[in-house]
């Protein structure tokens, strides 16, 4: 009697083994990777061991409901997954220092890409391109382009310390939390032709920025330590927190023709070639402070009719009659906070923005809201990531 039940029970057990494509598994070598190839879908995390060397090929796997993790690996040179289209959680690679070839031709969707310290990786073989990712941070790689990652929208996109990265061109329309670039290739040209809305945005050390469609920034927007001569945000109408243009030594022209309101401060400082500020023709309301320090000889904010915080316009140059209008805005209390408008101030030309000794007493309420905006970045990663984000957004 018992024997009659034995066979189906064994068969069941056998199929259950074949179907056990779940749990956390650690892969040390190709033989273990090949064992996964009977699974089209893996539920759980797949971890590549620190001792993995040469090539690991996750052949056959189509979907990971979990994370794919490779950390502190010195000898892995090639990482391949021909059929893998989706990683539902995180694709994390940290300090995989010998990796030169990353071949994921089918990958289109990942929740989070967190790559740091891929110090030999120069390109991606992502034939179909990742189209969907919520959070992407790529830090300290040798990537020269992001061909293979082309997102429509993201919550976070951070690119930092990729010192060969000289071009970023994405169809992104919307970045809901943070968009930041810092210390990539010195020739980095950023083109985001479709970007309409973004939250916190910081461009540092870039060579050009093209954001012709950007219409609304719901957090802060900053351009720092960059190499461009002209800066334009042709369609930008509002910035909800602070707008900063700081430390761009070659900048001669800043154009924000449709900008009408800034919810935090306006900081234009230490752009030593920017003598003429005439690109803010519609800016009427600033709910924080205005801090302008530089070599200006002419500053016109013809539509300005309300500044909730302080107003400082200090120049090493002769401001001509630029102060006349601001003096009267101050007299009529349209400028609510402390006020100073002066040319011939030798120290003004290289005075920093918010990073320095801020004179923006009047903007304390709005600058603190600016900071709460930045610190509200929800970043469930390593402290390394938080450090990078903090540096990019000036939180520390």
Name the residue with tokens 């012709």.
212
**Of the candidate residues 205, 316, 360, 363, the single one contacting ligand NAG (CB under 6 A):** 205
Is 224 a residue that touches ligand NAG (CB under 6 A)? yes
CB of 153 to ligand NAG, least distance (A): 6
Stretch of residues binding ligand NAG (CB under 6 A), selected from 59-67, 85-93, 161-169, 210-218? 210-218
Nearest C-alpha neighbor of 353 from the set 235, 234, 204: 204
CB of 365 to ligand NAG, least distance (A): 18
Three-state SS for 6?
Answer: helix
**Of the candidate residues 225, 255, 297, 382, the single one contacting ligand NAG (CB under 6 A):** 225
Four-residue CA torsion sign, 305, 307, 311, 316: negative
What size, in residues, is the chain? 396
CB of 327 to ligand NAG, least distance (A): 20
The CA-to-CA distance between both ends of the chain, in Å, stands at: 74
CB of 198 to ligand NAG, least distance (A): 9
CB of 225 to ligand NAG, least distance (A): 3
**Of the candidate residues 200, 242, 359, 360, the single one contacting ligand NAG (CB under 6 A):** 359
**Of the candidate residues 183, 242, 315, 367, the single one contacting ligand NAG (CB under 6 A):** 183
Is 106 a residue that touches ligand NAG (CB under 6 A)? no
**Of the candidate residues 30, 32, 215, 232, the single one contacting ligand NAG (CB under 6 A):** 215
Q: Of the two residues 197 and 261, which places its CB atom closer to ligand NAG in the complex?
A: 197
- Tell me, residue by residue from 262 to 301, as one string, x for binding to ligand NAG by CB under 6 A and - for no binding: --------x-------------------------------
Do residues 98 and 74 make contact, with C-beta atoms less than 8 angstroms apart?
Answer: yes
Stretch of residues binding ligand NAG (CB under 6 A), selected from 92-100, 168-176, 321-329, 370-378? 168-176
Q: Of the two residues 83 and 213, which places its CB atom closer to ligand NAG in the complex?
A: 213
Residues 6+ apart with CB under 8 A from 35: none
DSSP string, 72-138: EESEEEEEE-SS--EEEEEEEEEEETT--EEE-TT--EEEEEEEEEETT----B-TT-B-EEEEEEE
DSSP string, 323-360: HHHHHHHHHTTSB-S-EEEES--GGGTT--STTS----
Token pair in block for residue 362: 């009047």
Four-residue CA torsion sign, 349, 352, 354, 357: negative
Binding site for ligand NAG (CB under 6 A): 173-174, 176, 183, 196-197, 204-205, 212-213, 215, 224-225, 235, 237, 247, 249, 270, 350-352, 355-357, 359
């Amino acid at each position: 009697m018992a024997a009659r039940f034995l066979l189906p029970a064994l068969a069941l057990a056998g199929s259950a083994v074949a179907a056990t494509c779940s749990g956390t598994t650690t892969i040390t070598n190709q033989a273990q990777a090949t064992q996964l190839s009977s699974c089209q879908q893996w539920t759980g995390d797949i971890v590549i061991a620190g001792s993995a060397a040469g090539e690991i090929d996750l052949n056959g796997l189509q979907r990971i409901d979990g994370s794919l993790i490779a950390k502190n690996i010195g000898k892995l040179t090639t990482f391949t997954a021909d059929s893998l289209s989706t990683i539902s959680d995180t694709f994390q690679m940290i300090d995989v220092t010998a990796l030169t070839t990353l071949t994921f031709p089918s990958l289109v969707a990942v929740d989070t890409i967190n790559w740091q310290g891929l110090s030999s990786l120069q390109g991606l073989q992502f034939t179909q391109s990742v189209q969907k990712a919520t959070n992407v941070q790529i830090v300290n790689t040798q990537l020269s382009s992001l061909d293979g990652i082309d997102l429509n929208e993201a919550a976070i996109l951070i690119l930092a310390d990729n010192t060969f990265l000289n071009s970023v061109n994405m169809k992104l329309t919307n970045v809901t939390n943070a968009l930041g670039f810092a210390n990539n290739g010195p020739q980095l040209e950023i083109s985001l032709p479709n970007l309409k809305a973004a939250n916190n945005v910081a461009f540092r050390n870039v060579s050009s920025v093209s954001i012709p469609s950007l219409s609304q920034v719901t957090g802060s927007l900053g351009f720092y330590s960059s190499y461009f001569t002209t800066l334009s945000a042709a369609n930008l109408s509002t910035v909800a927190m602070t707008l900063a243009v700081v430390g761009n030594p070659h900048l001669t022209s800043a154009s924000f023709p449709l900008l009408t309101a800034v919810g935090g401060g306006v900081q234009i400082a230490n752009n030593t070639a920017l003598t003429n500020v005439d690109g803010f023709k519609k800016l009427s309301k600033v709910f924080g402070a205005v801090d302008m320090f530089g070599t200006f000889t002419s500053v016109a904010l013809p539509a300005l009719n309300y500044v909730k915080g302080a107003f400082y316009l200090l120049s090493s140059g002769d401001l001509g009659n630029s102060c006349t209008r601001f003096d009267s805005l101050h007299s009529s209390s349209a400028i609510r906070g402390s006020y100073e408008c002066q040319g011939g101030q030798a120290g003004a030309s290289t005075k920093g923005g918010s990073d320095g000794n801020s004179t923006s007493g009047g903007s304390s309420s709005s600058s603190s809201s600016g900071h709460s905006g930045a610190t509200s970045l929800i970043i469930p990663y390593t402290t390394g990531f938080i450090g990078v984000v903090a540096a990019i957004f000036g939180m520390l």
